[in-house]
Structure 1
Amino acid sequence: MSVIDEHSAAQADSAWHRMRYWVFAHAVDDFYQGLVPAAIPFFVLERHYSYTAASGLALAATLGSALPQPILGLLADRRPLLWLAPAGLTAAGVGAGLAGPAPGYAAAWILLLLSGIGVAAFHPAAGRDARRDAGDSATAMSLFAVGGNLGFFLAPALATPALVTLGVGATACFIPPAVLMGAVLWRYQQRRAATHRPAAQTGGRDRWAPFLLLTAIAVVRSVIAFGMNTFIALYWIGHLGASRGFGGVALTAFLVGGVLGTLLGGRIADRAGMLRTIQIGSIAAVPALILLRAVPEQHLALAAAVLAGLAVNIPFAVLVKLGQDYLPGRPGTASGVTLGLAVSAGGLFVPVLGVLADHRGPQSVLTVLCLIPVAAVILGFLLPPPTHDRRSARADTPLSTLDS
Structure 2
Amino acid sequence: MAKNKAITLLSIGHACVDVYQGAVAALVPYFVAERAYTYAAASGIVLAASLLSSVAQPLFGVATDRRALPWLLPVSTLVGGLGIALSGLGDSYALTLLFAGIGGVGVAAYHPESARVARVASGGSHTAMGWFSLGGNLGFALAPVLVAVVVGAGGLGLTPLLVVPALVGSLLTLPVLRGLERLTTGAPEASTVPAGPDDVASFVRLTLAVVCRSVVFIGLSTFIAFYVRQRTGGGAAAGTAALVVLYLGGAVGTVLGGALAERWDRVTVVRRSYLLTVGAVAGLVFLPGPALYVCIALTSAGLYVPFSLQVTLAQDYLPSRVGTASGITLGLTVSVGGLFSPLIGRLADATSLQTALLPLIAMPALSWLLFLALTEPARATGRPSAPAPP
What range is the shorter-chain TM-score in? over 0.9
Residue 304 in structure 1 maps to residue 295 in structure 2:
yes
Equivalent residues of 1:82, 1:186 under 8 A apart: no
Measure the CA separation in 2 of the matches of 1:28 and 1:141: 17
The counterpart of 1:231, out of the listed 211, 223, 238, is 223
Measure the CA separation in 1 of the matches of 2:194 and 2:251: 29
Partner in structure 2 of residue 9 of structure 1: none
The counterpart of 1:171, out of the listed 159, 165, 174, is 159
Q: Give CA-to-partner distance per residue, 1:90-130, whole Å, 9 cap, x none.
A: 11011001101233111110001000000110000011111
Which deviates more from structure 2 when the two are superposed, residues 317-326 or residues 195-204?
195-204
Summarize the alignment of residues 365-380 of structure 1 with structure 2, pairs less than 5 Å apart.
365-380=356-371
With over 3 angstroms needed to count, the CA separation of the structure-2 counterparts of 1:392 and 1:15, relative to structure 1, is: farther
The counterpart of 1:253, out of the listed 245, 249, 272, is 245
What TM-score do the two structures reach when normalised by structure 2? 0.94
Stretches of structure 2 that go unaligned for 5 or more consecutive residues are none
Equivalent residues of 2:43, 2:341 under 8 A apart: yes
AA aligned to 2:228 is: W
Q: Give CA-to-partner distance per residue, 1:23-69, whole Å, 9 cap, x none.
A: 10110100001000001011011100111111110001001211111
Equivalent residues of 2:58, 2:327 under 8 A apart: yes
Partner in structure 1 of residue 168 of structure 2: 180
Equivalent residues of 1:28, 1:151 under 8 A apart: yes
Partner in structure 2 of residue 363 of structure 1: 354
AA aligned to 2:199 is: R
Equivalent residues of 1:74, 1:333 under 8 A apart: yes
AA aligned to 2:243 is: L
Equivalent residues of 2:268, 2:388 under 8 A apart: no
- Structure 1 stretches of 4+ with a deviation exceeding 3 A read 14-18, 391-394, 396-400
Q: Give CA-to-partner distance per residue, 1:144-185, whole Å, 9 cap, x none.
A: 111111011000122123322211233221102202321220
Measure the CA separation in 1 of the matches of 2:298 and 2:52: 30
The counterpart of 1:123, out of the listed 96, 105, 111, is 111
AA aligned to 2:132 is: F
Measure the CA separation in 2 of the matches of 1:237 and 1:399: 41
Q: What is the CA RMSD across the aligned residues, in angstroms? A: 1.9
Equivalent residues of 1:97, 1:172 under 8 A apart: yes
Residue 202 in structure 1 maps to residue 194 in structure 2:
yes
AA aligned to 1:358 is: D
CA-CA distance at 1:140 after TM superposition:
1.5
Measure the CA separation in 2 of the matches of 1:247 and 1:376: 28
SS of residue paired to 1:296: coil
Equivalent residues of 1:261, 1:310 under 8 A apart: yes
Partner in structure 2 of residue 5 of structure 1: none
Residue 276 in structure 1 maps to residue 276 in structure 2:
no
Equivalent residues of 1:90, 1:179 under 8 A apart: yes
Measure the CA separation in 1 of the matches of 2:383 and 2:214: 25
Residue 65 in structure 1 maps to residue 53 in structure 2:
yes
Stretches of structure 1 that go unaligned for 5 or more consecutive residues are 1-13
AA aligned to 2:13 is: A
CA-CA distance at 1:200 after TM superposition:
5.0
Equivalent residues of 1:274, 1:392 under 8 A apart: no
Measure the CA separation in 2 of the matches of 1:347 and 1:227: 7
With over 3 angstroms needed to count, the CA separation of the structure-2 counterparts of 1:236 and 1:398, relative to structure 1, is: closer
Aligned length: 385
Partner in structure 2 of residue 35 of structure 1: 23
CA-CA distance at 1:195 after TM superposition:
4.7
Partner in structure 1 of residue 37 of structure 2: 49
What fraction of aligned residue pairs are identical, expressed as a percent? 37
The counterpart of 2:145, out of the listed 134, 152, 157, is 157
Measure the CA separation in 2 of the matches of 1:63 and 1:202: 34
Measure the CA separation in 1 of the matches of 2:389 and 2:382: 14
Q: Give CA-to-partner distance per residue, 1:201-250, whole Å, 9 cap, x none.
A: 52201111100000001101100110010010010123432201210111
Measure the CA separation in 1 of the matches of 2:296 and 2:184: 43
Measure the CA separation in 2 of the matches of 1:204 and 1:15: 24
